[in-house]
Structure 1
Amino acid sequence: MATRIRAHDWAGGPLGPIKGWPQSLRTAVEIIVGSGHAMQLAWGAERIVLYNDAYAPMLGERHPVALGRPFRDAWPDVWEEIVPLVDKVFAGETVRFEDMPLVMTRHGYPEETWWNFSYSPVRDEMGAVAGLLNVTVDATPKIRAEHAEAALRDSEARLRDLADTLEQKVAARTAERDRMWDTSPDLMVEASLEGVYQRANPAWRSVLGYEPADVVGSTAADFTHPDDMKLMFGALATVQTDRLPSVNLRFRHRDGSYCWIQWVAAPSAGLIFAIGRDVTVAVDAAKHLRETEEALRQSQKMEAVGQLTGGLAHDFNNLLAGISGSLELMQTRLQQGRFNDVERYMAAAQGASKRAAALTHRLLAFSRRQTLDPRPTDANRLAVDMQEMIQRTVGPAITIEVVGASGVWPALVDPSQLENALLNLCINARDAMPDGGRITVETANKWLDERAARQQGMPEGQYLVLSVTDTGTGMPPEVIEHVFEPFFTTKPLGEGTGLGLSMIYGFAQQSGGQVRIYSEVGNGTTVSIYLPRYYGAVPDESEDALANPLPRSEQGETVLVVDDEPTVRMLVTDVLEDLGYTAIEAGDSVAGLKLLQSDTRIDLLVTDVGLPGGMNGRQMADAARVTRPNLKVLFITGYAENSAVGNGHLAPGMAVMSKPFAVDMLAARIRSLIEASRGMSTIRHSGQPTLDRP
């Protein structure tokens, strides 16, 4: 910890660089790092935390992030309980506690802990209290051992009481069993530990049609349905050493039919004692009920599908009306020579097109079939950049706070889809606060061990967590249980498209992560998106990359455009011609591959993923790279299984864009791929080894 303290970047924090620290702080730090006892120091108005090696294990997964953080950030889950003690110390008092209970999260889950500690004031050169020295001992192992010892003593006492009356109870139970043997309507048997029946009661006659004497000497295997044999032998293996709570087996009746028998059994004095009840009627009724419930669920699902498609059709019809109406008015005004109005109608058509594209992306995310463009992403930067937009969206009655964790890990994720998910979560939070409130957007690093990962339903490992917390109405458990289900909504019919949190859930799953909800009625809701940690740096993004005029073609580059939609081919070729490129068109994969396998110059392939002709765009591109290993490829797609373009793992020199796209974005992507191709060509012509790979 002394090494970590020296290496820590203090210059940007309240304490400033180490060389400027007062002697009182330097002395206190030397004391704690040199001590073998667990010690923590909280210094200054911000209560900045420093601690030694013996204290680090007590922090769990908070170490080493807690170093240099305010005391309340290092222990947020217990801060409300200890802040009065901290205030006393900074007022000049010393406080001590033994076996103080605190519920805290140190390893990814809440646990009950106990602590012995003393808080002492540390004074500066002027005699004023400048810090708090915490000398602490984790008493949790001791307290848990005491609890275990007390529980053991209690168990021993109960066992002694049980032993005193066991003989009487055994005698009473034996007498009761003998009475039940002749009168019980349930099957009863005594069997050897190997499962051979030694004795059977008269109920075998009325339930299964066998005389008890005929049952003796047989085994359960002689009666069990062939499909239940594995279950029966497993139950027999269990009951040889332990009690069998319950197992349902089909036993053959004397007339050849089968009855469902529910067995309970236990070992007793070197034998197995078992009781079986005929539950055929109940099992058949339960099966009929399950079929009815499934039919009802299917009916409800189809009704929800109808509501969803009706809502989508309504929204799309409104958007199409805006687009088609604007285009018609533009045509009319052009014929009339009234050019001043054209720009207004053009803006209206473009706005409706963008809203239609957003609706389509939400639908694809909901179905988990959108094409993602994953990139190393800084969640802190993304959340801060989104804050102003979120504030405008939710309105002035709601306060937006962004709390970014220090040293947050990057994630490999589609940033635009993560922005959409964050915005949608904030809109949901707004809807839960009709009278206003607060939305907190937080980032955190989470390391899930095997136990925590199992509880969360995720693989063990390191995750970036982006959370949105509101102070709204909250949700009961029965609503939380269904919020991610397709078509589930608590909103009235006709409000929204019915996609809800399914879109966010689908996006997180498709990105290799998970979504979790924590909510209490009346106490707000937290929705957390877990994304696997990306082990690498996040490149700096140039904000001016798209602001500068795009350079035109200077070397006569040729681009092949393959798409079965003529309008898209026209759009892309027009963009290419505006930039000075030569464009070649093909309407299917057969024609496209024929051109790619010819000696025609082609510097870039722009292709749809879903193509007619027997192969998709990715397969065509891979086939072309056999003879053109350095071919640059831009996939443009409106709908595709993500696997068709490599599940987010494209080969070098390949990129993907989702339809619809802005023309300037398309031009920029084409330009960047061409420039990359030109750079590789320069390397090859310079006599240096090529960096491209087939």
Structure 2
Amino acid sequence: MPHSVPTESDRAQDPLAFLAGGGEATRLILSRDWNGHVLGPPEGWPVELKAAISLVLNSPESMILSWGPELSFFFNETYFPLLGPRLPWAMGERFDVVWADGWAQAKPIIDAAFAGERQRFVDLPWKLDTDRGARDTWWTFSYSRVLDASGAIAGLFIFTNETTDRVLSDTALRESEAQFRAFAEAVPNHVWAARPDGYLYWFNQRVSAYSGQPMEALVGATQWGAMVHDEDRDGAAEAWAEALRTGRTYETEFRVRRADGQYRWFLVRAEPVHGADGAILRWVGTNTDIHERRRQAAELERLTVRLEEQVRERTADRNALWQLTPDLILRCGFDGTINATNPAWADVLGWHEHELLGTQLFDLVHPDDRERTREGARQLSQGEGHARFDNRFRRKDGTYRWISWSTHPSEGVINAIGRDVTIERERAEALAQAEEALRQSQKMEAVGQLTGGLAHDFNNLLAGISGSLELMGRRLAQGQGVEAERYLAGAQGATRRAAALTHRLLAFSRRQTLDPKATGVGELVAGLEELVRRTVGPAIALTIEQPADLWPVLVDPNQLENALLNLCINARDAMPDGGALGIKAFNERLDAKGARERDLPAGDYVSLCVSDTGLGMTAEVLERAMEPFFTTKPIGVGTGLGLSMIYGFVRQSGGQVRIQSTLGEGTSVCLHLPRHHGEADTTEGNQPAQAIPPATQGQTVLVVDDEALVRMLIVEVLEDLGFAALEAEDAPSALVQLRGQGRIDLLVSDVGLPNGMNGRQLAEAARELRPGLKVLFVTGYAENAVLNAEHLGRDTQVVTKPFVLDDLARRISHLVSGE
């Protein structure tokens, strides 16, 4: 309970009784050391000071006392929060020390108070350090003088209250109001405000601009209400009255007259703004122009009506199409459950709709087409768009018809239209068979021409061989050995020509045995230039373009010459009226992308291209250009084997052929050959034969060939060289000898052997029995037909039939000796 001011008797009894009731403020006074202070100890303070301090300590208001010329500073507990960090030491301290940060502002006010002026300040701003730190603060305070016994001013009572929160709140309210009005002026809507009773007291400028009325004319409800369309006014007023009564959101649509007299539709909406106590302070409303939206809505409604009419018309058309079309129409789930079919199903497949509804579509699909059909449905279920495919559907009588479907997924189902294409497919199949028969006929005709020409050539060669051998026999019988040698040379020449003929056949079949050498393409082209010029004739201009630093390639030079000459002849035939023929060779480095385009490994290549300005080829002809027997030349002129043989040779050499052609502009054929990392072979082909060293004693060769005559010839050669020879007619009999204990230094075997095991398989079995055994394959077939590249090496070689006996002898001798 509050303390009373001490009486004289109280003070006589206790000199510190005036401090009673001050609480923590009293403790601060008592705890201070007053020795040396201008006022001295509290017991001896003047009566007026004690009375003033007692009043301050017991006041419920925030109150301070400033005493004497030094303005000693006293305060009560209510004042504590205002001191902040000063609280522990401020009691009894000089005013200018306590409030040093505000002294410049406080001193004139204190001076005026001591001069006798009475002052009261409201919301005076101060920047002070308080218990909340340094900040801007606002204060309301007043000064009252304290007189001593002589009537002089001894001190000042200062009643003070901080009004910072209220000032900030009022400022925020004003700023909020200003922001609201700025926002209201910025938005493209009409904005207005009303009192809780509905009285309209403020509008933004857009309302004035729209209505043509000044702000003061719009205030209230009368003028505003007069601007609402007659047909909408009562409804708008009733809705507004209901919102005022209930405090709920006001929202309605009505037409408002514009300054030019036209009416536009507005969405009018207002929300109540509540105070802290929940009472409505005011209403804030907006008018949003929805005239265009209403017009669009009306137009949309009109279009909707029209669309519904069109839907009815289209539905009627669809129903007519559904009933009358000869095509199958189907609606089914992604799982194949049939939901609807049209009458055409009965006409085409014999099934009526009531027989199909709810059944499985896939059960009607031919077993060979069923999985493909299920996959198509699955893809459609995963969001893929249109799909077209053909499959066979079972008729009610058990037969099948080909149906060509066009499908589209929609809302969890498949919509499909199918057409019976059975007859078309049968016709197409019959046409394809006829075309295939025609192609086979053309091939057989070409084969007939080829074999007829080959038979003619072989008959000529055989006649030469047979006649030479017959005459040689006669002359030997007559003792004319010199004459026999001439016939022998003729037979050998015919034999070599026959071998060349078989090589051309193998080139066509891409199985010839090549004799690859490091070859300089530039030198080869230069050597053929004169022959090409004579071949193509004077009506065709020949140009050759090649750098001096062409890389060497590892190819059979004779085959490359044949290929180049063949391409030049083809180019000549494509230019019957003359033109330009170009031969170009160049180095080319293919990266991964370029190599992939040419179907080659990445790396270095030499490209040899032959280009002409002739007739060119269509896309269809270009696609088949390298097929065996395919030709565009008249019957009897070409066999269709030239490009095929070139392709076989280049592919066997590790390269690729690429043809580019434009109809009416010309053709370019490029041979891409792998670079050989070595020097080109410049040795002459006709070197004098070197002596063949004889075999050392005991060296033995096993000869395996099912042709007795060939076996006899090889054995004769071996015995001439001093080898011991063993013979076998097939692999099983050869293995018997290989399992024996006798010495065998070399296996000479035909590749194509009878009785279930070929020469390659025999060689593998032989090396299991005799590791490191050297092998020479003798074949009339290409080694890559049955031999892989890894089977050939230093200890494994191949020689092609027919062979020159000296060449065979030299190859055997070198293999056995390891040269």
Range of TM-score over shorter length = 0.5 to 0.7
Tell me the equivalent position of 1:200: 341
TM-score by length of 2: 0.54
1:232 paired residue among 373, 377, 387: 373
Q: CA deviation at 1:638?
A: 0.8
Equivalent-residue separation in structure 1 for 2:464 and 2:686 (angstroms): 32
> In the alignment, residue 645 of structure 1 is paired with which amino acid?
L
1:263 paired residue among 397, 405, 424: 405
Equivalent-residue separation in structure 2 for 1:449 and 1:363 (angstroms): 35
Tell me the equivalent position of 1:254: 396
1:73-114, CA deviations, whole angstroms, 9 ceiling, x for partnerless residues? Answer: xxxxxxxxxxxxxxxxxxxxxxxxxxxxxxxxxxxxxxxxxx
Structure 1 residues 472 and 632, CA gap change in structure 2 (3 angstroms): farther
Equivalent-residue separation in structure 1 for 2:400 and 2:797 (angstroms): 62
Which stretch of the first structure deviates more once superposed, 353-362 or 184-193? Answer: 184-193
Structure 1 residues 270 and 593, CA gap change in structure 2 (3 angstroms): closer
> In the alignment, residue 261 of structure 1 is paired with which amino acid?
I
Equivalent-residue separation in structure 1 for 2:547 and 2:318 (angstroms): 67
Equivalent-residue separation in structure 2 for 1:486 and 1:519 (angstroms): 19
Structure 1 residues 284 and 621, CA gap change in structure 2 (3 angstroms): closer
- Counterpart check, 1:325 vs 2:467: yes
- Counterpart check, 1:656 vs 2:798: yes
1:568 paired residue among 710, 728, 745: 710
Aligned positions of 1:154-169 closer than 5 A: none
Aligned positions of 1:122-161 closer than 5 A: none
- Counterpart check, 1:549 vs 2:690: yes
Equivalent-residue separation in structure 2 for 1:500 and 1:219 (angstroms): 57
Aligned positions of 1:206-225 closer than 5 A: 206-225=347-366
Equivalent-residue separation in structure 2 for 1:559 and 1:418 (angstroms): 36
Q: CA deviation at 1:407?
A: 7.1
Structure 1 residues 205 and 586, CA gap change in structure 2 (3 angstroms): closer
Tell me the equivalent position of 2:746: 604
Tell me the equivalent position of 2:138: none
Structure 1 residues 193 and 493, CA gap change in structure 2 (3 angstroms): closer
Equivalent-residue separation in structure 2 for 1:531 and 1:438 (angstroms): 21
Kept after mapping to 1: 8 A contact 2:692/2:809: no
Structure 1 residues 316 and 386, CA gap change in structure 2 (3 angstroms): farther
Structure 1 residues 214 and 336, CA gap change in structure 2 (3 angstroms): closer
Which stretch of the first structure deviates more once superposed, 244-253 or 428-437? Answer: 428-437
Q: CA deviation at 1:559?
A: 3.5
- Counterpart check, 1:384 vs 2:523: yes
Kept after mapping to 1: 8 A contact 2:631/2:638: no
Structure 1 residues 341 and 475, CA gap change in structure 2 (3 angstroms): farther
What stretches of structure 2 of length at least 5 have no aligned partner? 1-302
> In the alignment, residue 504 of structure 2 is paired with which amino acid?
R
Number of residues of Structure 1 aligned to a counterpart in Structure 2: 507
Please identify the structure whose Cα radius of gyration is greater. 2
Aligned positions of 1:13-52 closer than 5 A: none
The 3-state SS of whatever aligns with 2:401 is strand
Structure 1 residues 355 and 422, CA gap change in structure 2 (3 angstroms): farther
Q: CA deviation at 1:246?
A: 2.1
Tell me the equivalent position of 2:420: 278
Q: CA deviation at 1:550?
A: 2.1
Equivalent-residue separation in structure 2 for 1:180 and 1:495 (angstroms): 59
Tell me the equivalent position of 1:308: 450
Kept after mapping to 1: 8 A contact 2:334/2:412: yes
The 3-state SS of whatever aligns with 1:547 is coil
Tell me the equivalent position of 1:690: none
- Counterpart check, 1:527 vs 2:685: no
Equivalent-residue separation in structure 1 for 2:766 and 2:542 (angstroms): 51
Q: CA deviation at 1:309?
A: 2.0
Q: CA deviation at 1:427?
A: 4.6
Equivalent-residue separation in structure 2 for 1:466 and 1:335 (angstroms): 58
Equivalent-residue separation in structure 2 for 1:636 and 1:207 (angstroms): 66
Equivalent-residue separation in structure 1 for 2:701 and 2:797 (angstroms): 15
The 3-state SS of whatever aligns with 1:254 is coil
The 3-state SS of whatever aligns with 1:326 is helix
Q: Which has the higher contact order (CA 8 A, sep 6+)?
A: 1
Structure 1 residues 444 and 567, CA gap change in structure 2 (3 angstroms): farther
The 3-state SS of whatever aligns with 1:525 is strand
Kept after mapping to 1: 8 A contact 2:749/2:776: yes
Q: CA deviation at 1:673?
A: 1.6
Structure 1 residues 609 and 415, CA gap change in structure 2 (3 angstroms): farther
TM-score by length of 1: 0.62
Kept after mapping to 2: 8 A contact 1:653/1:673: yes
Kept after mapping to 1: 8 A contact 2:704/2:750: yes
Which stretch of the first structure deviates more once superposed, 495-504 or 622-631? Answer: 495-504
Equivalent-residue separation in structure 2 for 1:415 and 1:318 (angstroms): 28
2:331 paired residue among 168, 185, 190: 190
Q: CA deviation at 1:637?
A: 0.8
Equivalent-residue separation in structure 1 for 2:719 and 2:359 (angstroms): 89
Q: CA deviation at 1:655?
A: 0.6
Equivalent-residue separation in structure 2 for 1:297 and 1:487 (angstroms): 9
Q: CA deviation at 1:262?
A: 1.8
The 3-state SS of whatever aligns with 1:668 is helix
Q: CA deviation at 1:492?
A: 4.8
Kept after mapping to 2: 8 A contact 1:372/1:642: no
Equivalent-residue separation in structure 1 for 2:655 and 2:550 (angstroms): 16
Tell me the equivalent position of 2:776: 634
Q: CA deviation at 1:538?
A: 6.2
Structure 1 residues 187 and 346, CA gap change in structure 2 (3 angstroms): same
- Counterpart check, 1:481 vs 2:627: no
Equivalent-residue separation in structure 2 for 1:595 and 1:270 (angstroms): 77
- Counterpart check, 1:621 vs 2:760: no
Tell me the equivalent position of 2:140: none
Equivalent-residue separation in structure 2 for 1:235 and 1:245 (angstroms): 8
What stretches of structure 1 of length at least 5 have no aligned partner? 1-164, 678-694
Equivalent-residue separation in structure 1 for 2:754 and 2:806 (angstroms): 28
Tell me the equivalent position of 2:590: 447
> In the alignment, residue 204 of structure 1 is paired with which amino acid?
W
Structure 1 residues 226 and 431, CA gap change in structure 2 (3 angstroms): closer
The 3-state SS of whatever aligns with 2:818 is helix
Tell me the equivalent position of 1:395: 534
1:499 paired residue among 636, 641, 663: 641
Equivalent-residue separation in structure 2 for 1:644 and 1:658 (angstroms): 14
1:298 paired residue among 424, 435, 440: 440
1:271-324, CA deviations, whole angstroms, 9 ceiling, x for partnerless residues? Answer: 433212222322333333333333443344333333332222112112222222
Equivalent-residue separation in structure 1 for 2:427 and 2:801 (angstroms): 52
Kept after mapping to 1: 8 A contact 2:518/2:680: no
The 3-state SS of whatever aligns with 1:505 is helix
Equivalent-residue separation in structure 1 for 2:584 and 2:739 (angstroms): 52
Which stretch of the first structure deviates more once superposed, 325-334 or 177-186? Answer: 325-334
1:437-465, CA deviations, whole angstroms, 9 ceiling, x for partnerless residues? Answer: 64515254352645x56654x25534635
Kept after mapping to 2: 8 A contact 1:190/1:199: yes
The 3-state SS of whatever aligns with 1:256 is coil
Kept after mapping to 2: 8 A contact 1:247/1:264: yes
Tell me the equivalent position of 1:61: none
1:471 paired residue among 609, 612, 617: 612
Q: CA deviation at 1:613?
A: 5.3
Q: CA deviation at 1:233?
A: 1.7
Identity, % of aligned positions: 50
Structure 1 residues 369 and 448, CA gap change in structure 2 (3 angstroms): same
Q: CA deviation at 1:527?
A: 2.4
Kept after mapping to 2: 8 A contact 1:550/1:671: no
- Counterpart check, 1:673 vs 2:815: yes
